[in-house]
Amino acid sequence: MARSLKLEETGFLNQFGDLPVMQVRFNFYPPSSRTEVFGVKPHSDRSGITVLLQYREVEGLQVLKDGAWYTVPVIPDALVVNLGDQMQYHYVKYDWVGGEFADNDKWDIQSPVHRVWTNANKLRLSFALFSKPEAEKEIGPVYCFIDETRSRLYRNVRNFTAFNYECFQKGKVALEEVRI
Ligand SMILES: O=C(O)CCC(=O)C(=O)O
Ligand SMILES: [Fe+2]
């Protein structure tokens, strides 16, 4: 990712610390004849990067974009790669300078909100691999070249995963809580 953004290659990696965490979650969604049942309620991942395998051909995952929900198609043996909140930390805000906004596209690092529906007849399985910085590592924007055109969006935090989980349980959005 760093390379494709033409940035120093180890910049993102350094944020993960010496003891980064790889956590695997096996998601099991039994069929439910009730309509409109969430397997997982809307959330963004608390990881840096998530790699997901949607097992067999059972859809259910949806991503929110511009106010609409889109179903993520299941392509056999394909992995879904998703950016989590700990990558969105590197997103910086471009300020209005000299009458125009600087180009924000290449910094559009966002952790999408997604949810999972259960199916009426089929059970669904998915396997998610979450790659996270080491817990005690303080995270903050790596490539936040703060100057007159760019300002940071989030304050630094330690133990973001635990903080995010606490917020999730209280129905709060972690990134909103650390927004400056
Ligand atoms: O089951 C899925 O497709 C996604 C699960 C998910 O969003 C998660 O485990 O964080
Ligand atoms: Fe997720």
The per-residue pLDDT for range 114-164, each reduced to its tens digit, is 999 998 889 999 999 999 999 888 888 876 556 666 777 888 999 999 999
pLDDT at 61: 96
Say how many residues make up the chain. Answer: 180
Q: How confident is the model at residue 108 (pLDDT cuts 50, 70, 90)?
A: low
Q: Is the ipTM of this complex over 0.90?
A: yes
Q: Position 7: which residue type?
A: L
Among residues 169, 133, 159, the alpha carbon closest in space to that of 178 is found at 159
Stretch 17-25: mean pLDDT: 93
More confidently predicted of 15 and 26: 26
- Atom of ligand 1 minimally distant from the CA of 61: 3
* Under 8 Å between Cβ of 50 and 81: yes
Say yes or no to pLDDT of 92 above 80: no
Question: What is the distance between the alpha carbons of residues 124 and 118, in angstroms, rounded to a whole number?
Answer: 7
* Under 8 Å between Cβ of 118 and 37: yes
Q: Ligand 1 pocket: which residues have CB below 6 Å? A: 25, 27, 40, 45, 52, 54, 61, 114, 116, 126, 128
Say yes or no to pLDDT of 82 above 90: yes
pLDDT at 93: 66
- Atom of ligand 1 minimally distant from the CA of 126: 1
Q: What is the β-pairing status of strands 92-94 and 150-152?
A: antiparallel
Question: What is the distance between the alpha carbons of residues 140 and 149, in angstroms, rounded to a whole number?
Answer: 18
Stretch 14-38: mean pLDDT: 88
The ligand with the least distance to the CA atom of 85 is 2
Say yes or no to pLDDT of 104 above 80: no
Question: What is the distance between the alpha carbons of residues 54 and 103, in angstroms, rounded to a whole number?
Answer: 35
Stretch 31-44: mean pLDDT: 85
Say yes or no to pLDDT of 27 above 90: yes
pLDDT at 106: 47
Full-model pTM: 0.86
- Atom of ligand 1 minimally distant from the CA of 114: 7
Percent of the chain with pLDDT over 70: 86
Q: What's phi and psi for 86, nearest 5 deg?
A: -75, -5
Question: What is the distance between the alpha carbons of residues 138 and 156, in angstroms, rounded to a whole number?
Answer: 6
